[in-house]
Amino acid sequence: MQKGINIEDNQLFQAVKEGDKKAFDTLFLRYYPMLCAYAKQFVDLEDGKEIVQDVMVWFWENKEMQTFDTSLKNYLFKSVRNRCLTLTNRNEIKQRIQKKLQVHMEQLYEDPDFYIVEELAGKIETAIMRLPESYREAFELNRFQNMTYNEIAFKLGVSPKTIDYKIQQALKILRHELKEYLPLLASLFTPITPI
């Protein structure tokens, strides 16, 4: 029975690639509840629903380019998992930024204004998210996951010098984007662990 479902999925996928909206709707209705339940293991239900919808919309919009080595079902589940983990990671990064800013503000002022910290954290998060993906990944691994350049290089399969370059470029962009806030951000831009 499982094999029949896979064949049917493959037939539906081929129809989707040719622009068949009904085939897409069939796949959406088939997998939406399962994908939402799966996403709920990683994020809350509302975020999970939004992620599943985003994955399915992305799947439809990029249907001509879609290829995968596994079954369609595995591909969709893996896509949902990856987006859930990305969201979780972003939320952790946001919390770390807010915590660092709070500590820094407390050192500067006796009674830090929570709204200033929250506003600044939002500006930092936006600036970080606007970085080119490879710069952002290297920067986040170094600053927020305390990985050394060598560890990052090993993880990403590049040289430590490449990581150094990407982090330096990320810092250059962030300094420009956040120049009004540089005195408050000195601790954020100080390397956690050099090479």
pLDDT in tens, 111-132: 555 566 677 778 888 888 899 9
Extract the tokens encoding 156: 């990403």
Query: Domain for residue 110, yes or no?
Result: no
Q: Give residue 104's pLDDT band: very low, low, confident or very high (50, 70, 90).
A: low
Task: Provide the pLDDT for residue 195.
Answer: 47
CB burial readout 126-163, b (16+ within 10 A) else e = ebbeebeeebbbbbbbbbbeebbbebbbeeeeeeeebb
Mean pLDDT of 135-164: 90
Query: Domain for residue 120, yes or no?
Result: no
Task: Provide the pLDDT for residue 138.
Answer: 92
**Residues near 104 by beta carbon (within 8 Å), at least 6 away in sequence:** 184, 186, 187, 188
Residues 81 and 136 placed together within one structural domain of the fold: no
Q: Give residue 39's pLDDT band: very low, low, confident or very high (50, 70, 90).
A: very high
Q: In terms of residue numbers, what domain contains 166? A: 130-195
Task: Provide the pLDDT for residue 4.
Answer: 46
Query: Domain for residue 106, yes or no?
Result: no
pTM higher than 0.85 for the full model?
Answer: no
